[in-house]
């Protein structure tokens, strides 16, 4: 199977072009999911003098967000009406989405209000892209423009080439290319952003369970030299659902005996890069920034 290189996702410069959509000192709305990403966005925005008005999800968002945001409104998943009211009350006209929602838990934690129910009836599909694009359109119809979630965070986007750990083997580089080819083929189906490959064999494809669970699943059948590939889907909307990795990713890979992590340069967020590099070095895991086609600048197959 041959896949031609193509533009996939947005670059750091694309995100930078949107930064001027937020005036200095202007209040920024934050629709917060789980993980450390929302905290990082809030901290960076505050450091630049932009007040943060957050809408956070109970059972998902870290309560520490209250230490970084100027105000936090807590909602249940699906309470769209409450979300819009919170932003309007604070005069928010620019917002970002940061952090994910546990897809499995969301099946039982969904508590839509009336507006949320009306919204769900209009959504054409239940995939991430369909829901998030529809949500962005809904908020923008209320005068709340959704900006890239990488706003202010260009510095933590993965750079091309070797990022941490040893140079991957020839087999590892081949598996990166295969992983990218498979993900490119699956992209239109909104399946996931991650895949695990070992010596030309696909061990696991990320689905609703998320990347870490896919890595664990692959670890139960792999032989100890698997490659984890995580890239943006073709045409990825950088306003939301941006691929992200962090120390937990490396810890999960270590337990699953995976040896290479390939992430798309310029389109993947690396949380706590210093710790990622430390863990990669300690456990002999290669971390590389690749192109959408699976090439790793600066590293050859020789």
Domain residues for the domain of 283 are 154-290
Confidence at residue 17, expressed as pLDDT on a 0 to 100 scale: 45
Residue 6 is assigned to a structural domain of this protein: no
Q: How many CB atoms lie within 10 A of CB 91?
A: 10
Residue 15 belongs to a domain? no
Over residues 88-115, the pLDDT tens digits come to 999 999 999 998 887 655 555 688 999 9
Q: Which two tokens stand for residue 9?
A: 């996702």
Give the end of a domain, one of 120, 146, 172. Answer: 146
Rounded Cα–Cα distance for residues 296 and 288 (Å):
7
Q: Which residues contact 174 (CB under 8 A, 6 or more apart)?
A: 200, 301
Which pair of structure tokens corresponds to residue 10? 């947005």
Q: Which of 88, 119, 146 is the last residue of a domain?
A: 146
Same domain, 135 and 177: no
CATH number reported for the structural domain that contains residue 82 in this entry: 3.40.50.20
* Distance between CA atoms of residues 22 and 39, nearest Å: 19
Q: Name the percent of the chain lying above pLDDT 70.
A: 87
Mark whether 131 and 169 lie in a shared domain. Answer: no
* pLDDT score of 13: 40
- pLDDT by residue (tens digit) across 169-182? 999 999 999 999 99
289 strand-pairing partners: 161, 263
Ranges of the chain with pLDDT below 70: 1-20, 103-109, 124-129, 300-302
Contact between 44 and 66 under an 8 Å Cβ cutoff? The reply is no
CA 185 to CA 200: how far, in whole Å?
16
Buried b (16+ CB within 10 A) or exposed e, 190-228: bbbbbbbbbeeeebbbbeeebbbbbbbbbbeebeeebbb
Give residue 188's pLDDT: 80
233 falls within a domain: yes
Place of tokens 């007040």: 51
């Amino acid at each position: 199977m041959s896949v031609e290189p193509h533009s996939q996702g947005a670059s750091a410069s694309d995100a930078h072009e949107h930064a001027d959509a937020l005036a200095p000192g202007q209040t920024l709305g934050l629709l917060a999911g789980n993980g450390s990403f929302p905290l990082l966005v809030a901290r960076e925005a505050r450091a630049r003098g932009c007040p943060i008005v957050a809408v956070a999800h109970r059972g998902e968002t870290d309560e520490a967000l209250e230490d970084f945001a100027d105000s936090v409104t807590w909602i249940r998943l699906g309470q769209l009406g409450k979300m819009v009211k919170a932003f309007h009350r604070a005069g928010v006209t620019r917002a970002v989405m940061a952090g994910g929602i546990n897809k499995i838990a969301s099946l039982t934690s969904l508590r839509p209000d009336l507006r949320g129910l009306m919204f769900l009836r209009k959504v054409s599909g239940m995939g991430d892209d369909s829901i998030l694009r529809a949500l962005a359109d809904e908020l923008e119809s209320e005068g709340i423009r959704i900006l890239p979630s990488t706003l202010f965070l260009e510095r933590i986007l993965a750079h091309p080439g070797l990022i941490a750990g040893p140079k991957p083997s020839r087999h590892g580089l081949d598996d990166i290319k295969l992983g990218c080819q498979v993900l490119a083929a699956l992209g239109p189906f909104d399946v996931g952003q991650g895949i695990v490959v070992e010596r030309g064999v696909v061990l696991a494809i990320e689905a609703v369970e998320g990347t870490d669970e896919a890595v664990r699943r692959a670890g139960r059948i792999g032989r100890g030299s698997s490659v984890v590939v995580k890239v943006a889907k073709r045409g990825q909307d950088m306003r939301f659902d941006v691929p992200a990795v962090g120390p937990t990713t490396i810890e999960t890979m270590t337990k699953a005996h995976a040896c290479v992590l390939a992430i798309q340069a310029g389109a993947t967020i690396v949380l706590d890069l210093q710790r990622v590099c430390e863990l990669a070095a300690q456990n002999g895991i290669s971390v590389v920034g690749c192109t959408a086609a699976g090439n790793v600048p600066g590293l050859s197959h020789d």
